[in-house]
Structure 1
Amino acid sequence: MNVLMRVDASTLIGSGHVARCLTLAKALQGLGAQVSFACRRLAGDLSAQIAAQGWPVYRLAVEAPDDGAQARNAANIEALLPWQPDIAALAGQLPPGTCFDWIVVDHYGLDRHWEVAARPWAAQIMAIDDLANRAHEVDLLLDQNFNASTQRYAPWLEGRCRTLLGPEYALLREEFERDARPVRQVVERVVVNFGGMDAAGQTLKALQALMGLAGQQVTQVTFVAGLSNPHWAELQALVEQRPQWQLLAYSADFGQLMAAADLFIGAAGGTTWERAALGLPTLCMAVAANQQDNAQALAAAGVHRYLGPCAQVSVAALAEAIGELLANVEARQRYARLSRQLVDGRGARRVAAALGGLPGS
């Protein structure tokens, strides 16, 4: 099986789409598939990191208005890209006569126009989506979110399209297939992470909140601040005041850090499913508009505590929420139990099996 992943990352898009595609690529590799990636050249793209892991990468030189501008807001990140230049750039990279068994497209900016145009290169196409806001012309659609449903996608899909919906298909690395850590009476270790880039700059807010806890101390905190964090110098200066606190831009052992933690503070994005698989009690905020619905639905189901969009959460409000959860072991135990019931860590295997046409997919 020969598979192409069409996915982007940047300082503004973030790294979550690439992370889940890499996870799926490894699961497909385990079935004997050959996987390659096609990514645009953007500020903060991860093409070099993908290639360093041994995956072939087609680097697409595509002009996109404002794509690297700091003024580009979250709403524009979901705006459709001009699909013709993207297809032309891909055509210029692929060898003549190329045909993939599957093209997997994980991109908020691409819709049925791109998918129809890519048909000559693929026997079948899969879209990974979270938004249900644009038409698709695909054979398979994956939405791993808790609020995914056939009704939500009914206006956007052709009748022949199969769907994989819900957290049982969450694309998690193998390291998250493990037993949950028991919830301890006292929180000793906290992990803070707001995505691979933290373009919203929320790590600093969490650090300030933890430093401002009245009468409560957390012994060990690891801040995984993201590549190119806008507040790196200030974070570094503050962490130096606490010898047992640690500041990292990136961690190759992020799963192990989470597995050893008692509490997670971060974004309501891709790590949602990693935390759930580990049964890690969580306080989260949405750092993008597309995270809000799913985060609210999970909070209503008792899986985590959701504080709302990050712009509406002050340092004081975050500190208050942290203090409440530190003191409430019953709430932390409940979050751990319900999240473990939702995600078992085998989603990538299920999706790979569906692409491979294996029984039980």
Structure 2
Amino acid sequence: MNPTPRSVLFRADGNAQIGLGHVMRCLALAEMLGPDYARRFAVVQPAPAVAQLIEEKGVIIISIQTDEATEFLNLIDSTDVVVLDGYSFDTDFQRAVRARAKALVYIDDLVTGHQVADVVVNHAGGVTEYDYRSEPYTQFLLGPHYALLRLPFFTPKTPVPQEGPIFVSLGGADPGDTTLRVLRGLANCFRTLKQEWRVHVVVGPVQQNRQAIEAMQTDFKHLKILSSLTAEQMATELLKCQLAITACSTVAYEVCSVGRPLIAIQTAENQKRLASFLRQNELIFITLTGDELLSQFVSAFHVGLTSNQAGFRTRFVQNQRRFFDGQSPERFRALFNRLTA
């Protein structure tokens, strides 16, 4: 008789309003754990595109009707390790979950509140356990060595292609329409520099302004719009590019893990700490806020793409490799093997 699979229950939400970051981090972890675990994922009324993302990973999706605690608590078995990722899961909610589960893992990026989970994961750099208030038993897994990335982004590093396209990705939902502003900024750069580069822009499954993005094709000679890429396809696009322009979110970590020159844009307040870490450790050329896009984008792009004096671009890629060693999957599997034992 086969042994009962170890059980992990995920809880996160994602849609066009709040983005897909919480869901994608949980899916990255589910993928690292693999089919040796019985993986379930509870989402409040998931859109078809979100449900498909989850089911494609071999994870059972559970559609719940509200974000009230009771409905989710009734799903928890005493053998489950529960993983929470979301800003609505306050201390009281976490206590209630932990009382029912075998163990509780909380994925965080705000560094607020009192932590009661058995394990807190925050892959942002520059964070220490002393930044948190927590219970004595809480274990902290912090920084890029615990990067929550999908498996294809842990590929062996390759040299940066000199003639590759410009890669643009501002998240799965992009509620602030930053993709459109970046494309307008690039068009302005090309006119200012009197030169054209190929541009590959990735839009997510719940991107609300797809039509306006497609209309930008008249401003470029070579604009390729890609949608709903698999992790493998996304990693391939990154490997082909000579420069990436992304949000200061998980996609920036994907670029760093692959090892490519990067301009990062802070599109939300919760990205401020990560933006600071990327900038201070010289993992990126520059971080911009949304308000700085028009005023500073031309100079940022010019530095990022055309500067290579004294190995300028190479230095940033080498710094990325110091922090992203490709061992996150092994570290997380060791953790969950212990929690589910």
- TM-score of the aligned structures, taking structure 1 as reference length: 0.85
- 1:303 shift after superposition: 0.7
Hey, what does 1:35 align to over in structure 2? 39
Hey, what does 2:336 align to over in structure 1? 355
SS in 2 for 1:212: helix
Q: Deviations over 1:277-304 (max 9, x none)?
A: 1111100111110101221122011111
Correspondence 1:257 to 2:262:
no
Aligned residue among 254, 265, 268 for 1:274? 254
Is the CA contact (8 Å cut-off) linking 2:249 and 2:274 kept in structure 1? no
Q: Deviations over 1:68-123 (max 9, x none)?
A: xxxxxxxxxxxxxxxxx62212245x38xx32331011112212211111234311
Report the Cα distance in structure 2 between the residues aligned to 1:314 and 1:132, rounded to whole angstroms. 27
Q: How does 1:132-151 map to 2 (within 5 A)?
A: 132-151=111-130
Q: How does 1:183-262 map to 2 (within 5 A)?
A: 183-184=160-161, 186-213=162-189, 214-252=192-230, 253-262=233-242
Hey, what does 1:26 align to over in structure 2? 31
Is the CA contact (8 Å cut-off) linking 2:123 and 2:147 kept in structure 1? yes
SS in 2 for 1:344: coil
Hey, what does 1:343 align to over in structure 2? 324
Q: Which has the higher helix share?
A: 2
- 1:345 shift after superposition: 2.5
Aligned residue among 260, 275, 279 for 1:299? 279
Report the Cα distance in structure 1 between the residues aligned to 2:178 and 2:25, rounded to whole angstroms. 22
Structure-2 change in CA distance of 1:227 and 1:27 (3 Å)? closer
What is the identity percentage for the equivalent residue pairs of Structure 1 and Structure 2?
25
Correspondence 1:169 to 2:124:
no
Hey, what does 2:50 align to over in structure 1? 46
Hey, what does 2:19 align to over in structure 1? 14
Is the CA contact (8 Å cut-off) linking 2:154 and 2:257 kept in structure 1? yes
Structure-2 change in CA distance of 1:52 and 1:300 (3 Å)? closer
Q: How does 1:69-88 map to 2 (within 5 A)?
A: 86-88=68-70
Runs of 5+ unmatched residues, structure 2: 1-5
Report the Cα distance in structure 1 between the residues aligned to 2:172 and 2:329, rounded to whole angstroms. 20
Is the CA contact (8 Å cut-off) linking 1:209 and 1:319 kept in structure 2? yes
Report the Cα distance in structure 2 between the residues aligned to 1:262 and 1:126, rounded to whole angstroms. 37
Report the Cα distance in structure 1 between the residues aligned to 2:21 and 2:110, rounded to whole angstroms. 15
- 1:220 shift after superposition: 1.8
Structure-2 change in CA distance of 1:12 and 1:345 (3 Å)? farther
SS in 2 for 1:46: helix
- TM-score of the aligned structures, taking structure 2 as reference length: 0.89
State the Cα RMSD in Å: 2.1
- 1:340 shift after superposition: 1.3
Greater mean alpha carbon deviation, residues 274-283 or residues 343-352: 343-352
Hey, what does 1:79 align to over in structure 2? none
SS in 2 for 1:11: coil
Report the Cα distance in structure 2 between the residues aligned to 1:274 and 1:228, rounded to whole angstroms. 20
Hey, what does 1:5 align to over in structure 2? 10
- 1:17 shift after superposition: 1.5
Structure-2 change in CA distance of 1:134 and 1:47 (3 Å)? farther
Report the Cα distance in structure 2 between the residues aligned to 1:179 and 1:48, rounded to whole angstroms. 29
Q: Deviations over 1:322-346 (max 9, x none)?
A: 0122121233211111011111222
Q: How does 1:72-111 map to 2 (within 5 A)?
A: 86-91=68-73, 94=75, 98-111=77-90
SS in 2 for 1:345: coil
Count of aligned positions: 328
Report the Cα distance in structure 2 between the residues aligned to 1:208 and 1:158, rounded to whole angstroms. 48
Is the CA contact (8 Å cut-off) linking 1:221 and 1:245 kept in structure 2? yes
Q: Deviations over 1:12-47 (max 9, x none)?
A: 2211221121121122225x1111011112668723
Report the Cα distance in structure 1 between the residues aligned to 2:102 and 2:206, rounded to whole angstroms. 39
Letter in 2 for 1:167: P
Structure-2 change in CA distance of 1:59 and 1:238 (3 Å)? same
Report the Cα distance in structure 1 between the residues aligned to 2:313 and 2:197, rounded to whole angstroms. 18
SS in 1 for 2:54: helix
Greater mean alpha carbon deviation, residues 295-304 or residues 232-241: 232-241
Report the Cα distance in structure 2 between the residues aligned to 1:4 and 1:208, rounded to whole angstroms. 42
Aligned residue among 57, 61, 69 for 1:57? 61
Is the CA contact (8 Å cut-off) linking 2:275 and 2:287 kept in structure 1? no
Report the Cα distance in structure 1 between the residues aligned to 2:90 and 2:49, rounded to whole angstroms. 21
Hey, what does 1:180 align to over in structure 2? 157
- 1:221 shift after superposition: 1.0
- 1:52 shift after superposition: 4.2
- 1:218 shift after superposition: 4.3
Hey, what does 1:78 align to over in structure 2? none
Report the Cα distance in structure 1 between the residues aligned to 2:79 and 2:194, rounded to whole angstroms. 56
